[in-house]
Amino acid sequence: MSEAEVITRVENGVGRITLNRPKAIHALNRGMCEAMIAALLAWRGDDAVRSVLVDHAGERGFCAGGDIRMIAESGAGDASEARAFFKTEYQLNHLMFEYPKPISAIVDGIVMGGGVGISEPADVRIATERTTYAMPETGIGLFPDVGGGWFLPRLPGQTGVWLALTGARLKAADTVALGIHTHFVESGATAALKDELLANPSDPKAVADRVSGEAGPAPLDAHREAIDRLFVFDTVEEIFAALEADGSDWALKQLETLKTKSPQSLKVSLRQIRTGATLASFAANMAMEYALGGRVVQTHDFQEGVRAVIVDKDNAPKWSPADLAGVSDATLDALFAPLLADEAWSPL
């Protein structure tokens, strides 16, 4: 494979984007986002390109997220590099969301954070038995960005809130059942699937419909009623209270998980999702997330979360505030305040 971190080319009417940073599980940096934007813009008006296919090199997974270390180092300073990354990444997410030609993404293996951002806008989203999907940001003091404020509240019931707050990891049977992914194909059949997509560049959905199989029974089905009942509230305190009052093993396990997360991130993420549900456009959501992201990366909890999970790997973050009561509405209002016009995010 080429040394480039993203390989772009056109094959038989399909614009192909292959993530090629396998040692980092294809974690996105600004250069990778710029390369994808350049290809998509070039193909948008090219009649020879009928559809787009996004996949990855190597075996370790589709995309583990964004370049968190860089974002944290930038956030420890003036956050200008982090904001520049978010601006470009979110422009890529929006370009894919609004793209006039069908996009397919094969998410074989790990797909988290930024990987969700470049696969969820695709029209055809193919999972395999190796797929592991999560938005684990509350565990590092962040929030489920890259469009999470748009996609998560539009999942069935309160499953998006549950996913955002707990950072739960799902396999393909659940992601397909929830509509996160549209199709299931065995990982061993993805090479044949790509050949089919290249042979039928105009209608990737018809190809996926024909080739896909059953992902199997969805384990989450047993808990969907509880999720909808216990995660319906507009404050994290009420969710905690509902889980405790429910008292089932499953509910108490969710509560135990939530108590390990950043209290600030829990409140930020819940407000993000409730706000995102009310917005009229994906672009409005990305503008909200951009304003929020540039501020959150400078907070104690993000710096501490990255230290605990990624740098020192002691998995023992010291959150501040240490509990929900310490995270005031005024703090949230300041984090969510819109940016001035000349600083605000806008689409390409």
Q: What is the pLDDT of residue 86?
A: 98
Overall average pLDDT of the 181-189 stretch? 97
Q: Is the pLDDT of residue 12 over 60?
A: yes
Tokens describing residue 44:
């948008």
> Across the chain, what does the average pLDDT equal?
97
CB neighbours of residue 34 within 10 Å? 15
Lookup: tokens for 154: 């539009």
φ/ψ of 83, rounded to 5, equals -65, -40
Residue 323 sits at the vertex; the CA angle it makes with 156 and 157, to the nearest 5 degrees, is 5
Would you please indicate which residues are annotated as catalytic (active-site) residues?
66, 114, 137, 145
3 state DSSP class of 55? strand
* pLDDT for residue 60: 87
Give the pLDDT mean for 240-251: 98
Residue 347 lies in a domain: no
Q: Is the pLDDT of residue 92 over 80?
A: yes
- Residue 130 is predicted with a pLDDT of 97
Assess if residue 346 is contained within a domain: no
Checking if the pLDDT of 286 tops 90, the result is yes
Does 264 fall in a domain?
yes
Instruction: Read off the pLDDT of residues 135-148 as tens digits, 9 standing for 90 and up.
Output: 999 999 999 999 99
Using 50, 70 and 90 to split pLDDT, how confident is the model at 214?
very high
What span, in angstroms and rounded, lies between the C-alpha atoms of 289 and 143? 9
In a domain, 290, yes or no: yes
Residue 243: inside a domain: yes
Query: What CATH number is given to the structural domain containing 151?
Result: 3.90.226.10
1 in a domain, yes or no? no
Find all residues with CB under 8 Å of 89, minimum gap 6, and list them: 28, 30, 33, 66, 114, 117, 146
Q: Residue 49: inside a domain, yes or no?
A: yes
Which residues span the domain enclosing 176? 6-336
Confidence of residue 1 (pLDDT cuts 50, 70, 90): low
What is the Cα Rg of the chain in Å?
20
Tens digit of each residue's pLDDT (9 = 90 or more) over 45-80: 999 999 999 999 998 899 999 999 999 999 999 999
How many domains would you assign to the chain? Answer: 1
In a domain, 184, yes or no: yes
**Alpha-carbon distance 249 to 116, whole Å?**
30
